[in-house]
Amino acid sequence: MSAREKKAKTSDEPVGRFELVISEILRLGVTLSLATILVGLALMFAHHPDYLRSSADLVRLTSPGAALPHSLSDVIEGVRAWRGQAVVALGLTMLILTPILRVAVSIVAFAVERDRVFVAVTSAVLAVLLLSFVLGKVG
Amino acid sequence: MSPLEFTLTLLGISVGAGFLGSLVGLGGGVVVVPALTLIYGIDIRYAIGASIVSVIATSSGAAAAYVKERLTNLRVAMLLELGTTTGAITGAFIAGIIHSRWLFVIFGLALAYSGVAMVRRSQRRGEAVPSDGWADRLRLHGSYFDEVRGREVAYRVTRTRLGLFLMYLAGLISGLLGIGSGVFKVPAMDLGMRIPIKVSSATSNFMIGVTAAASAGVYFVRGDIDPFIAAPVATGVVIGALAGSRVLPRTDSRLLRLVFVVVLLVISVQMVWKGLR
């Protein structure tokens, strides 16, 4: 088998395909999240013209104790009302979910390969990631 | 300062942080957190929350390219992520309960270490790679195409359990301080597990996104990610990192690294000072 044939064969293997899928998920996830974040930021300024001048607003926006959207229902509710802050939070949530989605897809990849040990390893990583959303409520 | 001025200046600083970070091989977090706390006087937990989100964005962007080039060892990455993610949620949890002055001190010390690690030369590796039952059973060994040598290079992985433990610590620092902590992950794989440096860097980058996602979940639910601060930081750092990766092949980074080390050490002293004062 020539080197080229060998290379063509590897790219047909599940892992080769899944590497491409993973790469695309990461690229698309980042692009879409950043676009959403920018739209949200623009909405914040569009809804509050005084943000262009008033320095009192800055303290309120950046100090602890501000009512930040920090649950999925906060975000969804705010996005429906077209609140800029919630749209930014939606973009940030999408960004956090991007690597998590990548891990979920990897579980499928290892399952296709019938690699039970790595299905278990990757599922455990996914479980830790999901646990993080619970732990934030406790801490 | 008006909110608009805040957004624009912070965007500028973040672009610069991402640009420099990608030129010297560190993430933007090491610059962003000190800038937010020392220049704008922002609460350090909000600074860390904004930084960790930008870490996900830059790592995922770069990882997309490395995975395509097949430099990343996906099996090693998935396994070690067990360590980094549990470490990350531990770190994020601790960050929520300790006094913020200690976050300043620990951040300063981590910066100083990053600076020293940047100039320290990596060790020569003459001896044979000790065999490791875990690495054999989990089929962690791999190969990559070395562009300099123009051929496929095979490598064997060792000390898997030590690697997992070191990754727990690296994840803990990442979650505690909101930085990617590649500076701790790469030596663990390169010197500890004997994985070639290029594969170590690519694999570290791949893991950083998942590690950061684990702690970002904790910060988000706790309400420590302020959209108004995180938005310019995340977009700015990514734009800067993209620009940096474009000019990187044409840059002589030695002088730049030296200058950056000095800057890191100065910031490090300021952070520790602010914490202890």
ipTM: 0.89
What's the structural domain count of chain B? Answer: 1
Mean of pLDDT values over A11-29: 75
What is the chain A residue with the closest CA to B220? A70
Confidence of residue B126 (pLDDT cuts 50, 70, 90): low
DSSP secondary structure letters along B49-80: HHHHHHHHHHHHHHHHHHHHTT-S-HHHHHHH
* A68 domain-assigned: yes
Kindly indicate the confidence band of residue B129, based on its pLDDT and cuts at 50, 70 and 90.
Answer: confident
Cα dist from B35 to B13, B48, B229, whole Å: 8, 11, 12
- How do B142-146 and B151-155 pair as beta strands? antiparallel
The pLDDT mean for chain B works out to 88
Average pLDDT of span A7-22: 60
Residues of chain A with C-beta less than 8 angstroms from the C-beta of B136: none
Asked if the model's pLDDT at residue A129 lies above 70, the reply is: yes
Supply the pLDDT for residue A55: 79
Residue A68 CA from chain centroid, whole number: 18
Which among A20, A122, A128, A137 is the top mutation candidate for probing chain B, defined by the most B β-carbons within 10 Å of its own β-carbon? A128
Question: Is A136 in Cβ contact with B218 (below 8 Å)?
Answer: yes
Q: Is A6 part of a structural domain of the chain?
A: no
Contacts 24+ apart (CB under 8 A), B156-159: B156/B129, B156/B131, B156/B194, B157/B73, B157/B76, B157/B132, B157/B193, B157/B194, B157/B195, B158/B129, B158/B130, B158/B131, B158/B132, B158/B193, B158/B194, B159/B130, B159/B132, B159/B192, B159/B193, B159/B194
Find, among B71, B67, B64, the residue nearest to B147 by Cα. B71
Res. A7 pLDDT band, cuts 50 70 90: very low
Q: Is the pLDDT at A30 greater than 50, yes or no?
A: yes
Stretch A13-41: mean pLDDT, rounded?
A: 86
Please answer yes or no on whether A69 and B227 come within 8 Å at the CB atom. yes
Residue B48 has pLDDT above 90, yes or no: yes
For residue A5, being part of any structural domain is answered with no
Residue B121 to chain A, least CA–CA distance (Å): 32
A24 touches chain B (CB under 8 A): yes
In the predicted model, what is the mean pLDDT of residues B180-185? 87
Q: Is residue A4 part of a domain?
A: no
Whether A26 maps to a domain, the answer reads yes
Per residue in B139-180, pLDDT tens?
999 988 887 788 888 999 999 999 999 999 999 999 999 998
Least confident of A86-90, B88-92, B244-248: B244-248
Mean pLDDT of B99-124: 83
Taking an 8 Å cut-off on Cβ atoms, the answer to whether A15 and B74 are in contact is: yes
Minimal Cα distance from A100: which residue of B? Answer: B210
> pLDDT by residue (tens digit) across B211-259?
999 999 999 998 899 999 999 999 999 999 888 888 776 766 677 778 8
Closest CA to A34 of A103, A86, A90, A102: A90
A36 touching chain B per CB within 8 A: no
Confidence of residue A15 (pLDDT cuts 50, 70, 90): low
Integer CA distances (angstroms), A29 to A43, A61, A100, in order = 21, 27, 11
Higher-confidence position of A78 and A33: A33
**What pLDDT does B95 receive?**
92
**Which positions in chain A touch B232 (Cβ < 8 Å)?**
41
Return the biggest CA–CA distance within chain B.
61
Structural domain boundaries, residue A78: 14-138
Tokens of residue B205, six digits: 């980058």
* Residue from the list A34, A48, A53 with its beta carbon closest to the beta carbon of B238: A34
Number of domains in chain A: 1
Residue in B250, B229, B235, B200 with CA at minimum distance from that of residue B61: B235
The whole-angstrom distance between A27's CA and the closest CA on chain B is 6
Picking from A37, A100, A125, the nearest residue to B231 by CB comes out as A37
**Residue at A59 is within a domain:** yes
Residue B3 gets which letter from DSSP? H
Residue B176 is predicted with a pLDDT of 94
Residues spanned by the domain of B69: 3-276
CB contact under 8 A, B218 and A125: no
**A123 inside domain:** yes
Contact B260, B20 (CB under 8 A): yes
Residue A1 in this model has a pLDDT that exceeds 50:
no
Whether B38 shows a pLDDT value over 50: the answer reads yes
Q: What is the DSSP letter of B248?
A: G
| Percent of chain A predicted with pLDDT > 90 | 45
- Average pLDDT over all residues of chain A: 83
